[in-house]
Amino acid sequence: MNHLIMVPLALPLVTGALLLLVSERRLQLKAAIAVAATLLLLAAEIALLLRADEPLTQVYALGAWAAPFGIVLVADRLSALMLLLAGVLGLAALLFSLARWQRAGPRLHALLQFQLMGLNGAFLTGDLFNLFVFFELLLAASYGLALHGSGPARVRASLHYIAINLTASLLFLIGASMLYGITGTLNMADLALRIAAVPPADRALLEAGAAILGVAFLVKAGMWPLGFWLPTTYAAASAPAAALFSILSKVGIYAVLRVWLLFFGDGFGGDWLFYGGMATLAFGVVGVLASQDLPRLAGFGVLASSGTLLAAIGMGQAAATGAALFYLVASTLGLAALFLLIELVERSREPAADLLAVTAAAFGDADDAPEPEEEVGVAIPATMALLGLAFGCCALLVAGLPPLPAFLGKFALLGALLAADPVPPAAWAMLALLSLSGIAATVSLSRIGIRVFWPAHKRSVPRVRVIEMAPVAGLLALSFALTLQAGPAMRYLQDTAEALHAPRAYIEAVLPGR
């Protein structure tokens, strides 16, 4: 058995636990441990990705109990891709937090590690109930991250966020137990086999259970009308947390992709996903246009991205799914960079010293609050020019304009939409909405960009450190690399999509000989 697949679970768990034991006064040591562990994690995830592309669906039976009786971890192309994306975002958020956010509240590093562990578990598990457990783990860590830095706005947004996600978790439990009650198994591959053999009398109950499960996933993905909580929470969260959250909504998309395509092919509920995705996209576009400040705009950008993905997945074609996956990677990188950048840009509006003072006072140990001057790292010159450049790149990514990869994803998606002959009206509607969303995001981002970077009155230039700019630049550089290497990336993602639409190989890897 290949133990590499356990690394994305065990490493963050052990590191997080270790970080809890180190005193908060030794922040440098904690930061060093966290960075080293995250780099190791990234290396393991790259190795997993390469193996998944051999192609090899790796299966790890926990405790060596064979499926379907034991719980299995499965790493195929999709899992490996999502793992790597989570790892990259985790590293970016961690590096960004080193400059000041790690001091805004206790145990940020441990929370980040637990968040990564929950995400990795959700992407790896091959068992429906285990998926619930990892959802809860990643949510528990995300509650802590959403609250990081405290303050009335964060606490209020987190209260809503926790209540909604607890309710969604209860729906998850209802859905999962209904599927168990009908099929008698929770292993995903086994479920896929047994669902095909369910007698027609039980079919309605089974589909009701699956639909309830789907609602639980779609709350995470923020599908309209289940996603009203999302912009507020994301806008209120601290920058590193928000950057990591941009993959949190993609966990819902991942779960839909995995579970829906495995259980039902693309037969049941595709229209719901397609039209729900369109409604989400439309709502996201309206929200982007209406937003007056950058954090909310980025929150609605997450919704628009979710909507595009859901609509594309709902079409139920392998070509569209592959394009959607490309768009998923590009838009997640872009949104994460935007969330990090927003905090740097907003500093020129409200001096960050105030922010720190407020959070430190709310947190209760004003005596220990560090002076802003003490912060580590070198301030970079030509700050506004660099910030403006990075903002422009983020805007291109979020709006899906060339030459950045989000455009390629959208373009491939449109190609898949128009491949059918004759082109169905729904595809035209999708095309119109996608183009409109690009225009709306461009209008909105350039409006805010002009206000921030070309102000009428003199504005203080924020102090930005290299360690804060590096993650933003790194995420943007990754997206540039994705454009340059679009050929191999697209090939990988098309293979992923085709494996998802024909899950025979997945089932045979988990249950040999069935």
Residues that bind another protein (CB under 8 A): 129, 133, 136, 140, 143, 147, 150-152, 155-156, 158-160, 162-163, 166-167, 169-170, 173-174, 177-178, 180-181, 186, 362
CA distance 107 to 90: 15
Q: Which is nearer to another protein, 69 or 454 (CB)?
A: 69
Q: Which is nearer to another protein, 67 or 408 (CB)?
A: 67
Q: Shortest approach of another protein to residue 129 CB, angstroms?
A: 6
Q: Shortest approach of another protein to residue 117 CB, angstroms?
A: 15
Torsion of CA 281, 283, 284, 288, to 10 degrees: 140
Q: Shortest approach of another protein to residue 251 CB, angstroms?
A: 17
Q: Shortest approach of another protein to residue 336 CB, angstroms?
A: 25
Number of H helices, E strands in the chain: 21, 2
CA distance 201 to 179: 14
CA distance 262 to 379: 50
* CB within 8 Å of 340: residues ≥ 6 apart: 92, 93, 96, 239, 240, 243, 468, 471, 472, 475
Q: Which is nearer to another protein, 6 or 159 (CB)?
A: 159
Q: Shortest approach of another protein to residue 155 CB, angstroms?
A: 5
| Secondary structure of residue 32 in the 3-state scheme | helix
**Dihedral class, residue 23 (left if φ above 0, else alpha if ψ from -120 to 50, else beta):** beta
CA distance 93 to 141: 14
Q: Shortest approach of another protein to residue 291 CB, angstroms?
A: 20
Query: In this structure, are residues 475 and 330 in contact, taking their beta carbons and an 8 Å threshold?
Result: no
Q: Which is nearer to another protein, 183 or 306 (CB)?
A: 183
Query: In this structure, are residues 57 and 48 in contact, taking their beta carbons and an 8 Å threshold?
Result: no
Peptide bond into 403 cis (omega under 30): yes
Q: 219 vs 118, 153, 182, 253, 321, CA distance in Å?
A: 18, 22, 24, 10, 21
Q: Which is nearer to another protein, 147 or 253 (CB)?
A: 147
Q: Which is nearer to another protein, 29 or 155 (CB)?
A: 155
Q: Shortest approach of another protein to residue 321 CB, angstroms?
A: 31
Q: Shortest approach of another protein to residue 148 CB, angstroms?
A: 13
Q: Which is nearer to another protein, 55 or 152 (CB)?
A: 152
* CB within 8 Å of 401: residues ≥ 6 apart: 407, 438, 442
The DSSP symbol for 66 reads P
Rg (alpha carbons) of the chain, rounded to whole number: 22
The DSSP symbol for 350 reads S
Q: Which is nearer to another protein, 26 or 203 (CB)?
A: 203
CA distance 104 to 306: 30
Q: Shortest approach of another protein to residue 255 CB, angstroms?
A: 17
Q: Which is nearer to another protein, 140 or 401 (CB)?
A: 140
Query: Structure tokens of 72?
Result: 């299995």
Burial class of 345 by CB neighbour count within 10 A (0 to 12, 13 to 18, 19+) = buried
Q: Shortest approach of another protein to residue 171 CB, angstroms?
A: 9
Q: Shortest approach of another protein to residue 85 CB, angstroms?
A: 26
Query: In this structure, are residues 81 and 55 in contact, taking their beta carbons and an 8 Å threshold?
Result: no
Q: Which is nearer to another protein, 217 or 326 (CB)?
A: 217
Bridge partners (DSSP) listed for residue 74: 59
Q: Which is nearer to another protein, 140 or 193 (CB)?
A: 140
